[in-house]
Structure 1
Amino acid sequence: MSLQDELTAVERNLDDLVRSVGKLESRLGARGLDVRRVRTDTDHLRESVALLRQSAAAGPPGGRLGAETPEVPEVVQIPDAPYDAKLWRDADDEGLGSRNGHAP
């Protein structure tokens, strides 16, 4: 099944859900937080599926959804040599402690 077919099937199922919620709403009335919450959730689902369809139509850089290669982070080499002591001159101002080892 292609991606577009799967999205169409999801939209059909969502349409069925919206109809079912409409029936519940007519039976229970539009009163109450529970009915409004379910109606809002179905509206959000419809919007989310529409956004998903748009992003699938735009397509990822790799050509297929989920087929893009993950970006490999750059490797940063850290030297084994000790750091220059001048780097730590203002360490007291940064809250790392005092030079003599005693707190103020």
Structure 2
Amino acid sequence: MEIICSDNSCPVYDTLRMIGNKWVLLILAQLMGGTKRFGELKKAIPEISPKMLTQQLRKLEQEGLVERTVYAEAPPKVEYALTAKGLALEPVFEQIIIWGRKHGGRP
């Protein structure tokens, strides 16, 4: 497979700019299972700090991969879900899981 990059665009760079770090991938993987609250995401990814989780969720919102819904309740209820653009990554995650099961683990 040949990847063609022009001065204006490179699909690999563009994709990695959006999802190219471990926290983003772990957050997206959790949201592939459905809508989650902040606390559920934090519990599912215990190594991430609350500050980093907040930063990454904001980045994912800006990229249009995640939507944030705030419910007017006391205390406030906030949920995160994948957008259609985020859900379009599902085949990519399926391939990552297949590759990880085959080649993952520690040497």
Structure 1 and Structure 2 fold alike (TM over 0.5) = no
Normalized per residue, the structure richer in helix is 1
Per chain length, whose mean CA-contact separation is higher, i.e. which structure has more relative contact order (CA < 8 Å, sep 6+)? 2
Structure possessing the higher radius of gyration over alpha carbons:
1
Give the structure with the larger strand fraction: 2
TM-score (norm 2): 0.28
TM-score, normalised to structure 1's length?
Answer: 0.28
